[in-house]
Amino acid sequence: MTYDVDIPSAGRPSLDVLLEALATLDGGPRPGRTLVVFDGDRRRRLPAGVEELRSPGRGPAAARNVGWRASRADWIAFLDDDVVPERDWTARLAEDLDGLGGNVAATQGNVRVPLPDGRRPTDWERNVKGLELAAWATADMAYRRDVLAALGGFDERFPRAYREDADLALRVLRAGYRLVRGRRTVAHPPREHAFLASVRAQAGNADDALMGVLHGPAWRRAAGAPPGRRRSHVATAATGAIAGVAAATGSRRLAAAALGAWAAQTVDFAARRLAPGPRTLPQVAEIAVTSVLIPPAATYHWYAGRLRARRLARPALPAAVLLDRDGTLVRDVPYNGEPDRVVPVADARRALDRLRAAGIPLAVISNQSGVARGLVTREQVDAVNARIEELLGPVGPWLVCTHGPDEGCACRKPAPGLVVEAARALDVTPDRCVVVGDIGADVDAATSAGARAILVPNGKTRPEEVASAPLVAPSLDRAVDLVLSGLIG
């Protein structure tokens, strides 16, 4: 049994505390690798032996996927970057994993939220305390890597924390696996928060809406999530809106009645939040202000999220999209070894952003025979690839064939090797991939590997290649329309 530790991080100072704790644990097998995946451009200096990876800045789901896909261990132990493992965490983890049957997909650790002594906890601290009862929270969760690969990992349509772990757990249970509780424990100290943090947190209502579309109206009960206050917030926001409209239109009696109802609802909400906590002036002021703002914020994010969820929850999307480089992502400059000559095609950034927003993993498959011909070096090819990612954002692993056309390799398109390698790197099967390219060799490579293909012709595409292609799109962006339609997944 081998395991790696996967830590998605926003670069917070708490990461240093976590890594120091991991370095000083007592007993138990050490992880093979400790992977810190920084979300976007955030960075912190890491100690020796801790590996840094980069995520495209789309939230913890995408960051966790980058980490486990880089691992080859049997188990992936996910930790949030603001937890502190107890000293026996590795020993307890080994006990938790020992002897688990093949039908157990994951084991969850226990979360302890230490609250301050000598005073009652604030509203924010009580919310954090709720993590102790959360089901399947990835604050400390170890998953079998093969299960993650089989189910595609975390759904990157969830851009924030909390619901992406519940979504994965429900998909795992639906697939017939079990999830169990372990004995290991991490501490999750409540961190300092900004004055309006509880208002900004209402953006998570959009993720609740997506959960409802993906898993049905009973998803909270299935995921062990608390019931929430959506109906109450909608009612409060509605009476406030009615009061405003009535006042603006001169309906004084209706405005007064609606305003009274809104005030009663708001006071009740504030009192419920304030009663268990301290009565200090800063706490009272924070609860008073945020109790006014939370209901409309929660209502807005839920309904906006509902609209977005219906658009995102399309069936039969492919497991991955594999893209040709020259002529598809960037203008074809023969044997280009100069990053300054990289020019993306007109709609490349928009097309890739749409695929990333839909949570579809990407990879690039490219013939670069100029290396074999002595016209460019592999280092120059890599520099050009790096420049493409600077302009277009991360595009997943790069699979490059540097052989010449007469070497008889299995990787040079139209052979299927690059497609097969890319699918393996993304932990998917070739038959669930879509290849997008600009010439017949791209289509043939896809077909030989069992993948689907979309041809995006340009001035160098031969008419017979267009005529024989199974699907043709006039641009990369229109090819993405086909991918996201759900009709070719």
Query: Which residue numbers are catalytic?
Result: 324, 326
Distance CA 171, CA 179 (A): 11
One-letter amino acid for residue 214 of the chain: L
Between the two ends of the chain, the Cα-to-Cα distance in Å is 34
- Where residue 450 falls (left for φ over 0; alpha for ψ -120 to 50; beta otherwise) is left
Phi then psi for residue 238, to 5 deg, are: -65, -45
Six-digit token pair at 47? 């100690």
Separation between Cα atoms, residue 65 and residue 214, nearest integer Å: 20
Burial class (CB in 10 A: 0-12, 13-18, 19+), 45: exposed
Distance CA 308, CA 337 (A): 41
Nearest residue to 306 via CA among 387, 234, 223: 234
How far, in Å, are 56, 139, 318, 393 from residue 356 at the CA level? 9, 24, 13, 10
Integer CA distances (angstroms), 461 to 283, 366, 438, in order: 67, 16, 6
Give me the residue label for tokens 């097998």: 29
Q: What are residue 321's DSSP bridge partners? A: 362, 434
87-124 burial code (b ≥16 CB/10 A, e <16): ebbbbbbeebbeebeeebbbbbbebbbeeeeeeebbbb
How many C-alpha atoms does 383 have within 13 Å on its Cβ side? 12
Q: Which of 146, 182, 183, 153 is nearest to 169 (CA)?
A: 153
Structure tokens at 72: 């080859």
